[in-house]
Amino acid sequence: MEKPTLGNPHNTIEILQKYQFSFQKRFGQNFLIDTHVLDKIIRAADIGKDDMVLEIGPGIGTMTQYLAKEAGKVIAVEIDRNLIPILEDTLGGYDNVRIINEDVLKLDIHRLVWEENEGRPIKVVANLPYYITTPIIMGLFEEHVPVVSITVMVQKEVADRMQTGPGSKDYGALSLAVQYYADTYIVANVPPNCFMPRPKVGSAVIRLNRYEKPPVEVVDERLMFDIIRASFNQRRKTLANGLKNSDRLDFTKEAIMEAVERLGKGPGVRGEALTLEDFAGLSNYLARLQS
């Protein structure tokens, strides 16, 4: 017997009442209750029977049900142990779903991909808890997890931040990291009434398509991101001062000033004025000084 579709608010309320489930604020739990939005996410994720999907924060299994019908295999990672009996109930009829009760930030995803998909690239689809959106996305990219694409529901302002360019107040380390690793587009904006409980902010579904090769050539990727983070840690400071004050960087004041000068931007330039190409050039120059 097929399980009731959880994108329907009535069915969601029924299962929550059955298990007397209480929402945990610390886990950022907002469950989707709009089948149109779920359909858009699944279409945007472009999943087929050859795909393994990693879902982060499945909640009560609302989107997992949709994913299971399309994918070859779904690995659903849920931190809240109170949700595990519910997931075992709502996903009981799907033999291609594995539930892992774990904090995804502590999970060895590389190992998981080897064990479950023989190291072949996976697709990530998730309604992400907003408080850990950035560390999850950055972790997947920086650890070079074999990922084809990431299709996720995030806070609207975070989606905007991923796409924005130099000069904007939303431009920062996340913008540059995402633009270095992936091509991005917003699939849909999602209002608060599509969730239970309603969040206080608007949301957006964004798809990140992993580049086979980043758009800029970088000698030392880790160094570039240390420079980027140092540039935005104290936004009001000049780029040179931000780099000099960083405990992650070990360059002389003269070397930093010379590197900044080579950008042709002037000594008073701030990090928010630099493009990804500028940061690549800056880090490549400083990397050569280290070698």
Q: What is the pLDDT of residue 22?
A: 86
CB-based contact 124:149 (threshold 8 Å): yes
Torsion of CA 227, 232, 235, 241, to 10 degrees: -20
Question: Do 98 and 170 belong to one domain?
Answer: yes
Question: Do 277 and 147 belong to one domain?
Answer: no
Show the tokens assigned to 98: 């594995």
Residue with tokens 């084809």: 148
In a domain, 2, yes or no: no
**H or E stretch covering 98:** strand 97-101
- Counting Cα atoms < 13 Å in the Cβ hemisphere of 88 gives 8
Q: What is the pLDDT of residue 2?
A: 60
CATH number of the CATH domain containing 151: 3.40.50.150
Question: Do 141 and 280 belong to one domain?
Answer: no
In a domain, 3, yes or no: no
Question: Do 203 and 226 belong to one domain?
Answer: no
Tens digit of pLDDT per residue, the chain (291 long)?
566 778 888 999 999 999 998 887 777 788 999 999 999 999 999 999 999 999 999 999 999 999 999 999 999 999 999 999 999 999 998 999 999 999 999 999 999 999 999 999 999 999 988 888 999 999 999 899 999 999 999 999 999 999 999 988 899 999 999 999 999 999 999 999 999 989 999 999 999 999 999 999 999 999 999 999 999 988 788 999 999 999 999 999 999 999 999 999 888 999 999 999 999 999 999 999 886
In a domain, 176, yes or no: yes
Question: How far, in Å, CA of 174 to CA of 150, rounded?
Answer: 15
**H or E stretch covering 165:** none
C-alpha distances out from residue 169 to 44, 69, 156, 229, 273, Å: 29, 41, 15, 15, 10
In a domain, 146, yes or no: yes
Show the tokens assigned to 55: 């879902």
In a domain, 21, yes or no: yes
Question: Do 77 and 139 belong to one domain?
Answer: yes
Residue with tokens 């697709």: 123
Beta bridge mates, 210: 182
In a domain, 164, yes or no: yes
CATH number of the CATH domain containing 236: 1.10.8.100
Query: DSSP 3-state helix, strand, coil percentages of the chain (rounded to 5)?
Result: 45, 20, 35
Residue with tokens 């630099």: 274
CB-based contact 112:171 (threshold 8 Å): no
In a domain, 32, yes or no: yes
Give how many domains the chain has, as a whole number: 2
Question: How far, in Å, CA of 286 to CA of 176, rounded?
Answer: 19
Task: Give every CB contact of residue 116 below 8 A, 6+ residues apart in sequence.
Answer: 52, 73, 75, 98
Question: Do 99 and 176 belong to one domain?
Answer: yes
Of 96, 91, 57, 101, the closest CA to residue 74 belongs to 96
Question: Do 174 and 226 belong to one domain?
Answer: no
Of 41, 68, 291, the closest CA to residue 187 belongs to 41
Question: Do 140 and 263 belong to one domain?
Answer: no
Q: What is the pTM of this model?
A: 0.92
Question: Do 142 and 162 belong to one domain?
Answer: yes
CB-based contact 55:80 (threshold 8 Å): no
- Residue 253, domain extent: 221-290
3-state secondary structure of 194: helix
Question: Do 19 and 148 belong to one domain?
Answer: yes
Task: Give every CB contact of residue 79 below 8 A, 6+ residues apart in sequence.
Answer: 27, 57, 101, 102, 103, 104
Residue 82 region by backbone torsions, left for phi larger than 0, else alpha for psi between -120 and 50, else beta: alpha
Q: What is the pLDDT of residue 28?
A: 78
3-state secondary structure of 118: coil
